[in-house]
Structure 1
Amino acid sequence: MVIDVLTLFPEMFAGPFSQSIIKRAQDKSVVKINIHNLRDWTTDKYKSVDDKPYGGGPGMVMRVDIIDTAVSKLKVQSAKCKIILLDAGGEKFSQGLARDLAHDEHLILICGHYEGVDRRVHEHIADEIISIGDYVSSGGEIPAMILVDSITRLLPGALGNPDSLSEESFSHNPQLTTNPQTEYPQYTRPEEYKGWKVPEILLSGDHAKIKKWRKRK
């Protein structure tokens, strides 16, 4: 899979994408992640990517022409490409959606900022509009990191033990939004700490009973 991220702040991605599972997945060529500065597609000496909103109002709006130029340049690199805009008004991100996106060959993520992006990006450029929750973040960069992390770990070869996926939270009911099926409680040493004990069933060695206990939890 190839993931291209369009952002005004490429430096934000250096830390999260150079550690842990995402780094190993890149090292093994499971995924190729490219971070692009939207200002590289500007044409004026100030590298302007935004302008005042028509009709008045606070803040600045990211320009449709700059975003379209960048997306058009990246789209030609693959036969199949899905363009995703990170936006608070989009579809709520879920494990089920992550699984669907993990089947795509090429994703382009557009990170909005300031007062948002020109509405024509929603209407004419983005294939999907995704939100990570009912709250406001400063931009689409952190939401993009969440998408990349969730999708990458689902790709074949990304995890050392692929069986880990079947035991994770939301793995059995990925679309569930109420009373989601989260992973069972986990414990490790010490067996007792400050009077807080590991459940005896987990120490019994009876794997059938342990499996039933975990299922109930």
Structure 2
Amino acid sequence: MNVTIVTAFPGFFRDFLSESMIGRAIRNGFIRVDVVDLRDFGTGNYRQVDDYAFGGGGGMVLLPDVLEKALDTVEAGKGPAYVVCPSPQGDLLSQEIVETLAARDHVVIICGHYEGLDERFIEKRVDREISMGDFVLTGGEIPAMAVIDAMARLVPGVIGKESAVVEDSFFRGMLDHPHYTRPSEWDGVPAPDVLLSGHAAEIENWRRSEAAARTLARRPELISKANIRQYLPKGVYAALVHSPVLDRKGEKTTAAVTGLDLSDIGRSCRTYGLDRFLVTTPLASQRDLVKTMAAHWTGGTGGDVNPDRKEAFGTIKIFPSLDRATEWVTRREKEPPLIIGTTARRREGGFHWLEAKRRILREKKPVLFVFGTGSGLHEEVLGRCHIVLQPLSGGFGDYNHLSVRTAVGVVLDRFFGWR
């Protein structure tokens, strides 16, 4: 991490860069932060760095030629930089922006003051303006500290335990869980018994449950970016149904198994952490075909050639019907699953995927996603689902004919993708 701060008030940063986590990280060589005094590039005997704003109204604006001289000097010494300016007009700072900045070789943060920077310099030299929120500060120095602190946490070695970074609020998309310390009872309020039990698995489950509950209660909008897989206490499954499904005329039919569906959906299930990929077809010959393909990739020479495909096919389990698959999940999880159906057709009562995601977190049941081959699931299947998702849509027209392989990837990413 290599950051340069350009500021007219370098004294702001003396303690910040020498104390606590940031100070240790600099001394240990994990990060480098240089502070450049803008007044070194000022004009005249008074090293002027600002002037009155055109148009009146009060306030001073930092001079574009002074800013450019400072930036040119920095880049001449340390190479090209990604230039950031804290500003109320900028993008709202988020964990995603922090990670993007931390991936840069050299970041320059130019701290505005008074009325800010001349707009011509911003348009010419600033790559990104960043806002701390819907409020105004006296200058860019405090935002610069916040950006540097957030970036530093992502540098290996800066935080003692990397797991502390991963578990922080927003890193996984969720808020953090509550924390407690000694004494075990304070002011008549005890710490949760589970945290004093010494049972690591139960403590981990409690923390994830509390994080999910807190996020749902306080910041439900964050759920859209969160991978909720690890916050679910029960298993998650996907079923690919070949009967009853619809043909192109909308009639009930049985579709054929294809190796491409099995391979691609198996890989999606493995990527997004599902427990098993359930394939259902009433035709014995088709079930035998699935077994033959799975055996080739898991126990035959195919697995040696392509270990990744071996893992994908290893998630497959075959059933003659969705009912049998659901019974198997129920026995395995010791309770019936929440069944989520998918369709490309508009249907009354369809759930927005975000509402379904929130319901999954609240109910804490095993989950079974059901996808249809052919032209989609028959109403016999959709009618027994607890939730039917609204169709995937995009673009500007009414064309909506994704392959089931693509649909599975999109749906699973919405629920179990990581930001």
TM-score scaled by length of structure 1: 0.93
TM-fit CA distance, 1:163: 2.1
The answer (yes or no) to whether the contact 2:80–2:106 under 8 Å persists in 1 is yes
TM-fit CA distance, 1:78: 3.6
2:170 equivalent to 1:188: no
Aligned amino acid, residue 206 of structure 2: W
Residues 20-35 of structure 1: matches in 2 within 5 Å?
20-35=20-35
Alignment match, 2:115: 115
Structure 1 gaps of 5+ residues are 174-180
Alignment match, 1:7: 7
Runs of 4+ more than 6 Å apart: none
d(CA) in 1 for partners of 2:199 and 2:37?
55
Aligned amino acid, residue 42 of structure 1: G
Residues 83-98 of structure 1: matches in 2 within 5 Å?
83-98=83-98
d(CA) in 2 for partners of 1:199 and 1:17?
37
Structure 2 gaps of 5+ residues are 211-419
Which structure has the larger Rg over C-alpha atoms?
Answer: 2
Which range moves more in the overlay, 3-12 or 205-214? Answer: 205-214
Residues 1-217 of structure 1: matches in 2 within 5 Å?
1-173=1-173, 181-217=174-210
Which range moves more in the overlay, 12-21 or 137-146? Answer: 12-21
Which range moves more in the overlay, 116-125 or 143-152? Answer: 116-125
Aligned amino acid, residue 148 of structure 1: I
Aligned amino acid, residue 179 of structure 2: Q
d(CA) in 1 for partners of 2:159 and 2:127?
28
d(CA) in 2 for partners of 1:188 and 1:52?
53
d(CA) in 2 for partners of 1:152 and 1:210?
28
d(CA) in 2 for partners of 1:157 and 1:207?
25
SS of residue in 1 equivalent to 2:11: helix
Alignment match, 2:373: none
Aligned-residue sequence identity (percent) comes to 38
The answer (yes or no) to whether the contact 2:2–2:106 under 8 Å persists in 1 is yes
Aligned amino acid, residue 114 of structure 1: Y
TM-score scaled by length of structure 2: 0.49
d(CA) in 2 for partners of 1:61 and 1:71?
17
Backbone CA RMSD of aligned residues: 1.2
Aligned amino acid, residue 196 of structure 2: L
The answer (yes or no) to whether the contact 1:84–1:108 under 8 Å persists in 2 is yes
Q: Provide Cα deviations, 1:97-152, integer angstroms capped at 9, x if missing partner.
A: 11111111111100000111111122111011111111000000000011111111
SS of residue in 2 equivalent to 1:186: coil
Aligned amino acid, residue 13 of structure 1: F
SS of residue in 1 equivalent to 2:12: helix
Q: Provide Cα deviations, 1:2-31, integer angstroms capped at 9, x if missing partner.
A: 211011110011111111111111111111
SS of residue in 1 equivalent to 2:85: strand
Q: Provide Cα deviations, 1:81-104, integer angstroms capped at 9, x if missing partner.
A: 101011111011111211111111
SS of residue in 2 equivalent to 1:46: coil
d(CA) in 2 for partners of 1:195 and 1:106?
51
Q: Provide Cα deviations, 1:162-206, integer angstroms capped at 9, x if missing partner.
A: 222111111102xxxxxxx22111111111112111011212222
Aligned amino acid, residue 116 of structure 1: G
SS of residue in 1 equivalent to 2:163: helix
d(CA) in 1 for partners of 2:79 and 2:113?
29
SS of residue in 2 equivalent to 1:76: helix
